[in-house]
């Protein structure tokens, strides 16, 4: 009688979970779950679909397609009217599968990354993840907005995951801050391409590299002077005084770019004859490829500059 009551009680309150618990022959002799003579409230069963739960669309990279769409809406006039961006060879960008886009960097606060991301996303309808110095991540508000609009810290494993596991388009600037921190008189002179890490990642991920030659980024925000001492004091890679600051004032001059005409040439993809997912790749092969891609890009940039009649009108 009482036994039945206990059973009924257990079954009634924890109907689902009882089946989950493993029954043992306990003192009661009945098939009760271990240690459950008095009903124990169980955790709710997991829902099958995350989509029912989610209250936002931020992916594992911190990117939100809603935020990205908003950013594109706001940036479009800049892209079309201010920079009047023109592309050559867009067909060289794969329409599916991962690819590492490699560009030349320039300008104190470089406009090349947003321009390339905006251009490819509007023209090809494929998302582009832009890799940048992880310093962005440490900045309040800016870091969050940067991440929501497709910025990813430039860590080799982040790049590998995006390219290999998720087959995304990923944009890197192998010169890094060495390029954005150079003076205006050194414009369009490619710096060292790191230690060729970008080639190694593309090899490991088994994706091609698509080199981009970008013209216009350097004149959008040229550096006329920089202070090494202030940079060290503030713990930032460089402290620039830009030409923009003479036009727009000291603060806006670090935000508003000059209306330089952008021209971007997409070079044919470079495929590698190396097995993916290896622990290590031959250093000299990596450096060799890196140097060859750099030389190609440098030649293409010079070619674009030869054809450019005016910095502002193209």
Partner 1 sequence: MRVLVTGLGTFWGSKLAQRLEAEPSVELVVGVDTREPVVPLERTEFVRADSSFSILERMVRATQVDTILHTHLVVDSTQESGRALHEVNVIGTMNLLAAAGAAGSTVRKVVVKSATLGYGSNYTDPYFFRETMPRTRPAKTRVERSLLEVADVVGDFAEDNPHVSVTVLQFANVLGEHIEAPIARMLRLPLVPEILGFDPRLQFVHEDDVIGALAHATLRDVSGVFNVAGEGTMPWSEVCTILGKRRVAMPPVLTALAAEPLRLAGLVDIPPEVLSLLRYGRGVDTSAYRKAGYRCQYTTAGAVDAFARGLRLQTTVGEPAYHYERDVEDFFRHSPAVVRDGV
Q: Reduced to 3 states, what is the DSSP secondary structure of residue 86?
A: strand
Does the footprint of partner 1 cover residue 1 (CB under 8 A)? yes
Instruction: Please identify, using beta-carbon distances, which residue of 6 and 224 lies nearer to partner 1.
Output: 6
Q: Beta-strand (E) ranges in 150-202? A: 151-153, 169-172
Instruction: Please identify, using beta-carbon distances, which residue of 42 and 84 lies nearer to partner 1.
Output: 42
Does the footprint of partner 1 cover residue 28 (CB under 8 A)? yes
Q: How far is the CB of 136 from partner 1 (least distance, A)?
A: 8
DSSP 1: -
Instruction: Say how many C-beta atoms besides its own lie within 10 A of residue 189's C-beta.
Output: 13
Q: How far is the CB of 237 from partner 1 (least distance, A)?
A: 14
Does the footprint of partner 1 cover residue 208 (CB under 8 A)? no
Which of 11, 12, 40, 80 lies at the binding interface for partner 1 (CB under 8 A)? 40
Instruction: Please identify, using beta-carbon distances, which residue of 56 and 307 lies nearer to partner 1.
Output: 56
Q: Which of residues 52-91 bind partner 1 (CB under 8 A)?
A: 53-56, 58, 60-62
Does the footprint of partner 1 cover residue 41 (CB under 8 A)? yes
Residue 164 to residue 201: CA distance in whole angstroms? 9
Residue 314 to residue 311: CA distance in whole angstroms? 6
Q: Reduced to 3 states, what is the DSSP secondary structure of residue 314?
A: coil
Q: Which of residues 219-248 bind partner 1 (CB under 8 A)?
A: none
What's CA 258's distance to the chain center, in Å?
A: 25
Q: Which of residues 131-190 bind partner 1 (CB under 8 A)?
A: 134-135, 137-144, 152-153, 155-158, 161
DSSP 113-164: HHHHHHHHHHHH---EEEEE-GGGGGSTTHHHHHHHTTEEE--HHHHHIIII
Residues at the site binding partner 1, with contacts judged by CB under 8 A: 1-3, 6, 21-24, 26-30, 33-35, 37-41, 43-44, 46-47, 50, 53-56, 58, 60-62, 134-135, 137-144, 152-153, 155-158, 161
């Amino acid at each position: 009688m009482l036994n039945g009551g206990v059973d009924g009680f257990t079954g009634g309150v924890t109907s689902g979970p009882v089946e989950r618990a493993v029954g043992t022959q306990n003192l009661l002799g009945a098939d009760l779950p271990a240690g459950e003579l008095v009903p124990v409230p169980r955790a709710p069963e997991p829902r099958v679909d995350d989509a029912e739960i989610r209250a936002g669309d931020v992916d594992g990279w911190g990117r939100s397609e809603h935020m990205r769409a908003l950013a594109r809406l706001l940036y479009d006039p800049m892209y079309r009217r201010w920079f009047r961006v023109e592309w050559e060879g867009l067909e060289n960008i794969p329409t599916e599968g991962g690819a590492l886009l490699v560009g030349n960097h320039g300008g104190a606060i470089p406009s090349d990354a947003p321009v390339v991301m905006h251009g490819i996303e509007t023209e090809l309808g494929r998302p582009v993840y832009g890799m940048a110095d992880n310093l962005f991540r440490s900045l309040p508000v800016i870091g969050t907005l940067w991440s929501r609009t497709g910025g990813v810290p430039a860590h080799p494993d982040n790049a590998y995951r995006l390219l290999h596991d998720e087959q995304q388009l990923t944009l890197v600037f192998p010169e890094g801050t060495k390029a954005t921190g150079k003076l205006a008189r050194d414009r369009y002179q490619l710096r060292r391409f790191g230690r060729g890490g970008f080639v190694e990642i593309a090899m490991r991920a088994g994706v091609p590299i698509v080199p981009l030659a970008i013209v216009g980024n350097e004149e959008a925000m040229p550096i006329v002077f920089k202070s090494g001492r202030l940079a060290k004091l503030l713990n930032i890679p460089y402290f620039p005084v830009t030409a923009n600051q003479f036009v727009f004032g000291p603060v806006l001059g670090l935000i508003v770019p000059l209306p330089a005409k952008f021209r971007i040439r997409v070079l044919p993809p470079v495929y590698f004859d190396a097995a993916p997912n290896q622990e290590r790749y031959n250093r000299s092969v990596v450096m060799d490829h890196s140097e060859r891609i750099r030389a190609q890009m440098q030649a293409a940039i010079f070619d674009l500059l030869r054809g450019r009649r005016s910095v502002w009108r193209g």
